[in-house]
Amino acid sequence: MPDMTPIKNPMPLLDMALRQTSFNEVAQGYDEETARREARRCLRCKNKPCVAGCPVQVAIPEFISAIACGNDAEAYDIIRETNALPAICGRVCPQEMQCERRCVRGIKGEPVAIGRLERYAADTAILSDGDAAPDALKQSEAQPRTSSEEPQVASCKAATAHIETGKKTVKAAVIGSGPAGLSGAGTLARLGFDVAIFEALHEPGGVLTYGIPEFRLPKALVKREIDSLRSLGVRIETNTVVGKSITIDDLREDGYAAFLIGTGAGLPSFLRIPGESLNGVYTANEFLTRINLMKAYMFPDADTPIRVGKKTAVFGGGNVAMDAARCALRMGADVSLVYRRGRDEMPARAEEIEHAQEEGVRFELLTNPIEFLADDSGTVRAARCVRMELGTPDASGRRKPRAIEGSEFELACDTAVIAIGNSPNPVFVKSVPELARTAWGGIDADPQTGKTNLPGVYAAGDAVTGAATVILAMGAGRRAAQEIVLEYNNSL
């Protein structure tokens, strides 16, 4: 009989004093007993609505059932069949918008804590498996379980056999080592391709490394996932800006036949208000890159500095805004988060919003900045803001905020962080003018297959969709990799 407790087993959290001062991981993860208890809340519905809500169709009831029965390793293997990075997804997926939103238990009470259980399975496997993990992973994708519902995966199995028995190994170049690239590279390597990932920065991981902070996604975990790709034979060439250091044509000359572009959405959007170039006004990308990639929170032990003032204002309502606000808080600032809509409209994961608020980030909702004001040295001293109200729903269905006349006020801040979104980074695409792009600068690729207008060139993730989520990028990377396998299977 399922456990009919109406609420999720709570996630144990780091001590609040540490949360406010250190970059240690906040969510501590379920222990074994809690995980078993939570797993028993699953009703094992026949029609599996949760699976339909998952961008990579993880066999959710099956893996939860394995946990309930005490088979954690099996649970992990089940997840790995369709999800290359479960330890990461368990932490950063917006489950409340995806699998958990469809969970039948959510109708009367809270859904099953699917994300927390996914993380539990992954963390347990990592702890217990050690070096054996990569070999087990090699098997999982080559011999998929869910053949009945996923003809593409079944075809991949045939492709594997072909490529592995043939003499010729296809060389595939993956451009960008973020979620789309890592997931695509893993799929290609497991299916017998000779894979190299080209990364512009000095560390691989893309947004997992430069964007998402340590307290939400420990970098050791990212490193571990990347090492497991290396053990599959994937080469990672850092410091290589494709389009600058090397071109697609160079790579073709070097024998690369297939290309998977996962260059992400790394071009920061600006508010386009006066004062945005004042000192102390950061884009979230700069703020988070200094902290996460360059470890500026350890300055001067790390060489890269950051200046976080006494009062920091973060503008935006997504995960990036929450990350920036919580970083600033840990560096000793009094933090306001300014968002033009209401709390219910915030696009961030529910858990991040809760954590930010618990830690002491003050929310200035229905508020919009109109100008940054400077002190004598040209550093920001305040943001002039206006209060907003929600009007009629716009095309996206969200109620459009509009300014309330006469409501202007000054919000004092000596550091401001703009976290209102990113669009695809143009550096790579500019180097390939013949690659078709969308009107807004994304790569024009088939949303199902990732196929672009150029032969052998596929694209996936935020570079195609614009800024979205880790799991969507991973799903797209994997699908594109499977298409590459099909293409080269047919043409060999």
Task: Give contact residues for another protein (rule: CB under 8 A).
Answer: 200-203, 210, 238-241, 244-246, 266-268, 270, 276-277, 279-280, 282-283, 285-286, 289-290, 293-295, 299-305, 307, 377-379, 425-427
- Least distance to another protein, CB of residue 427, Å: 5
- Least distance to another protein, CB of residue 195, Å: 19
Between residues 113 and 281, which has the closer beta carbon with respect to another protein? 281
- Least distance to another protein, CB of residue 279, Å: 4
Between residues 33 and 440, which has the closer beta carbon with respect to another protein? 440
Between residues 123 and 203, which has the closer beta carbon with respect to another protein? 203
Of 267, 257, 80, the C-alpha closest to 174 is: 257
Of 61, 42, 35, 46, the C-alpha closest to 106 is: 42
Between residues 50 and 222, which has the closer beta carbon with respect to another protein? 222
- Least distance to another protein, CB of residue 146, Å: 38
Burial 183-209 (b: 16+ CB within 10 A, else e): bbbbbbbbbbbbbbbbbbbebbbbbbb
Between residues 419 and 471, which has the closer beta carbon with respect to another protein? 419
* AA letter at 388: M
Query: What does the block give as tokens for 286?
Result: 């700069």
Report CA Rg, the chain: 23
Distances (CA, A) of 368 to 60, 342, 453: 40, 11, 41
- Least distance to another protein, CB of residue 165, Å: 35
- Least distance to another protein, CB of residue 248, Å: 13
- Least distance to another protein, CB of residue 24, Å: 20
Between residues 144 and 441, which has the closer beta carbon with respect to another protein? 441
Between residues 250 and 389, which has the closer beta carbon with respect to another protein? 250
- Least distance to another protein, CB of residue 20, Å: 23
Distances (CA, A) of 181 to 44, 212, 370, 444: 33, 17, 38, 17
- Least distance to another protein, CB of residue 226, Å: 12
* AA letter at 87: A
Between residues 406 and 440, which has the closer beta carbon with respect to another protein? 440
Between residues 343 and 430, which has the closer beta carbon with respect to another protein? 430
- Least distance to another protein, CB of residue 443, Å: 16
Between residues 156 and 380, which has the closer beta carbon with respect to another protein? 380
